Structure 1
Amino acid sequence: MTNDNVLTLMVQAAEKAGLALLASYDPASRPPGRAAMYELGTQLEATSTTIVREALDGAVPGVDWWDEDERGRVVPPGRWWVVDGAEGAVNHVHGLPEWGVTITLVTDGQPERTVVRRPIGDLTWTAARGQGARLNGELLRVSAKTDLSAAAVTASQAGNDRGVYERFASAFVEMASRALLVRNTIPTVFPLLGLTSGQYDVFWQYEPDLPGTAAGSLLAGEAGAIVTDLAGSAWDVNAADILVAAPGLHASALEVLR
């Protein structure tokens, strides 16, 4: 199977799963509490992921399925499908539009191909290493900014660790004192999609959400961004943190976040 055919299959799988998510989407949805949110989100994830697996299982020889619940956070060497069947499920169940499906083929720690499908707006982002990043077929480029004081900075900090929250809060203060603005939003992939098209300029996250950063980092990198960890080293899917920035801003953002 050619590389183009692999990406086409990924797009088809994401579109089919996205339709299933769209069928249950209600802009008026307002779950009454955390238990209801969790139940709805779990159902969405299970339905969508099953569709993706049925579409891609065995389609590319030698590719296995990564599942954090089964395998833990570390992605072993080899080739893996890294999927979020309902990226932004919390948005979906609250009637917000930023949700979708992410499918990334990871090889030895590096994203190789990715598709992000957002049914609302009929939007499909695709990237293959060395071949650029596209939105509905149109090539994307990151920001040309070089001055951090003009930068729109974004993050997507979630998790359940008070220490991470405190670290993020401190970094937020430092970055807000240097940049034009700083936003923290979820899910992870959508700030990175904005960076890929130049709407945002810098993104960082501690304890990265893997499906979102695997997809978003490849898209942004293929659109010209610099992708590292917060030590300035080349990023891979097992890194403890991530910084993605337009090339003219990466060094100054890294200085602040260090």
Structure 2
Amino acid sequence: MHPMLNIAIRASRVAGKVIVRAFEQVDKVEVQSKGTNDFVTNVDISAEEAIIETIRKSYPDHTIICEESGILQGKDDDYQWIIDPLDGTTNFVKGIPHFAVSIALKVKGKLDQAVVYDPIRGELFTASRGKGAQLNNFKLRVKPLKELNSTVLATGFPFKCKQHTDAYLNIFKSLFTKTADMRRSGSAALDLAYVAAGRVDGFFEIGLKPWDTAAGELLVIEAGGLVTDFTGGHNHTASGNIVAAGPRLAKEILKDIRPHLGEALSK
């Protein structure tokens, strides 16, 4: 196993312990609003601090990009850790046991290592560039589907970007009429991990941030899948609009998305 993946796993487990301990007394968690429909807890901050400390012990010069702390610039910017300490904060606050720690490493601008850790289920999704993706050391592959019929897609509502509600609902309707069903779980990191594991057949969402998707993106790619923006390009990190599925199914999803984009979602 790659030594930097080992550190990411160690950091995710340390953060996971912080989260699970707090989840046992979730009514005592301190919640603050950091924006419209966007919440942060003292647990997000404590988990992030634990991750940063673990990475810094081994790699003090690396840059760390965090959801809560922002960019912690290091001397060696070729190595960038991208962290979401608690993806699914709203689920956590409401006592819904579906959330994850997400840690990715970019080396010279390319995704290189990834961990998505579900501390409630004890599920550890990992990937190394060119080495495949695993769940608790079992190899993952996306479903090689060619059409939307009988598929189950995951999605996320644009709760932070409600100006896109009409476009989103049109996309949802177009896809929903062709699929078997849809899922909205509240954690993009786990949605992407589930695409990699074949638990859902595809995923799409509007307005995500790099820390939501970086680790999950590498999981999907290393499991044989495709990750694009809504136009089939590679601007999803900047736009936050993402599609993930097996290569053929991704193209079918994009066919249904494109007619409803408008200028705002075509970037």
Whole-angstrom distance in 2 between the partners of 1:69 and 1:13: 16
On the 8 A contact 2:80/2:107 being kept in 1, the answer is yes
Whole-angstrom distance in 2 between the partners of 1:233 and 1:80: 23
Relative to structure 1, the CA distance from residue 236 to residue 64 in structure 2 (aligned partners, 3 Å threshold; closer, same or farther) is farther
Q: Secondary structure at the match of 2:208?
A: coil
On the 8 A contact 2:142/2:225 being kept in 1, the answer is yes
Q: Which residue of 1 aligns with 2:203?
A: 203
On the 8 A contact 1:226/1:250 being kept in 2, the answer is yes
Relative to structure 1, the CA distance from residue 236 to residue 170 in structure 2 (aligned partners, 3 Å threshold; closer, same or farther) is closer
**Offset of residue 237 of structure 1:** 2.5
Q: Which residue of 2 aligns with 1:251?
A: 251
User: Which amino acid is the alignment partner of residue 50 of structure 1?
Assistant: E
Q: TM-score when scaled to structure 2?
A: 0.83
User: Which amino acid is the alignment partner of residue 244 of structure 2?
Assistant: V
Q: Which residue of 2 aligns with 1:230?
A: 230
Paired residues for 1:153-232 under 5 Å: 153-232=153-232
Whole-angstrom distance in 2 between the partners of 1:69 and 1:99: 16
Q: How many residues align?
A: 248
Deviations 1:216-243 (A, max 9, x none): 1110111111111111123563244111
Relative to structure 1, the CA distance from residue 85 to residue 62 in structure 2 (aligned partners, 3 Å threshold; closer, same or farther) is same
Q: Which residue of 2 aligns with 1:104?
A: 104
**Offset of residue 87 of structure 1:** 1.4
Q: Secondary structure at the match of 1:114?
A: strand
For the aligned residue pairs, the C-alpha RMSD in angstroms reads 2.5
Whole-angstrom distance in 2 between the partners of 1:50 and 1:29: 19
On the 8 A contact 2:205/2:241 being kept in 1, the answer is yes
The answer on 1:66 being equivalent to 2:60 is no
**Offset of residue 109 of structure 1:** 4.5
Deviations 1:118-143 (A, max 9, x none): 11121111111111010111111111
> Mind listing any 5+ residue stretches in structure 2 that lack a counterpart?
34-38, 72-76, 259-267
Whole-angstrom distance in 1 between the partners of 2:21 and 2:239: 36
Percentage identity across paired residues of the two chains: 24
**Offset of residue 78 of structure 1:** 4.4
On the 8 A contact 1:63/1:81 being kept in 2, the answer is yes
Whole-angstrom distance in 2 between the partners of 1:130 and 1:153: 26
Whole-angstrom distance in 2 between the partners of 1:89 and 1:78: 30
Whole-angstrom distance in 2 between the partners of 1:147 and 1:235: 24
Greater Cα shift, 216-225 or 178-187:
178-187
**Offset of residue 43 of structure 1:** 0.3
On the 8 A contact 1:110/1:236 being kept in 2, the answer is no
The answer on 1:131 being equivalent to 2:131 is yes
User: Which amino acid is the alignment partner of residue 201 of structure 1?
Assistant: D
Whole-angstrom distance in 1 between the partners of 2:243 and 2:131: 22
> Mind listing any 5+ residue stretches in structure 1 that lack a counterpart?
none
Whole-angstrom distance in 2 between the partners of 1:68 and 1:137: 28
The answer on 1:20 being equivalent to 2:18 is yes
Whole-angstrom distance in 2 between the partners of 1:85 and 1:231: 30
